[in-house]
Amino acid sequence: MKRWTVLSAAALLLAGTAPAGTANAAGTTTERTAGTCDVSLSSFGPEGHPTTGLGPVRLASTSTQLAYGHGLDLSGWAVSGDRAYYWYYSLTNEAEVDPGMPRGAQPVGGGWSAYKALEVSQFAAKGATTRNTAYGLSGDGTLRRWSFDVNIPWRFKATGSAPGFAAVKSMALISKTATYDTFLANTRGGALYTIRIPVGAPMKPVVKPVRTRTWQGFEKLVATKCGQYGTFLVGVDFDTRTAYQYAVGHANGTATVIVGLGRRSGTFPARAYFRWATNPYEPLNGD
Tens-place pLDDT, residues 191-212 = 999 999 999 999 999 999 999 9
Q: Is the domain covering 3-285 a CATH 2.115.10 domain?
A: yes
What is the pLDDT averaged over residues 1-14? Answer: 34
Between CA 138 and CA 135 the distance in angstroms is 10
Q: What is the pLDDT of residue 186?
A: 98
State phi, psi for 3 to the nearest 5 degrees.
-55, -45
Between CA 259 and CA 29 the distance in angstroms is 8
Closest to 120 (Cα-Cα) out of 170, 157, 173, 171: 173
Which of 32-36's residues contact partners 24+ apart within 8 Å by CB, and which partners?
32/245, 32/261, 32/262, 32/264, 32/265, 33/232, 33/245, 33/261, 34/10, 34/226, 34/227, 34/230, 34/232, 34/245, 34/247, 34/259, 34/261, 35/10, 35/11
Across the chain, how many H-helices and E-strands are there?
A: 1, 20
The residue that leads in pLDDT, 13 or 167, is: 167
127 φψ region: left (φ > 0), alpha (ψ -120 to 50), beta (else): left
Residue ranges of domains in the chain: 3-285
Going by pLDDT thresholds of 50, 70 and 90, the confidence category of residue 253 is very high
Residue count of the chain, please give it.
287
Estimate the share of the chain in helix, then strand, then coil, as percent rounded to the nearest 5.
5, 50, 45
Going by pLDDT thresholds of 50, 70 and 90, the confidence category of residue 35 is low
Torsion angle (degrees, nearest 10) of CA 126, 127, 132, 134: -100
Between CA 162 and CA 137 the distance in angstroms is 10
Does 46 have pLDDT greater than 60? yes
Residue 100 CB partners (closer than 8 Å, separation 6+): none
Does 275 have pLDDT greater than 90? yes
C-beta separation of 244 from 256 below 8 A: no
Tens-place pLDDT, residues 50-62 = 999 999 999 999 9
Q: Which helix (H) or strand (E) holds 7?
A: helix 3-14
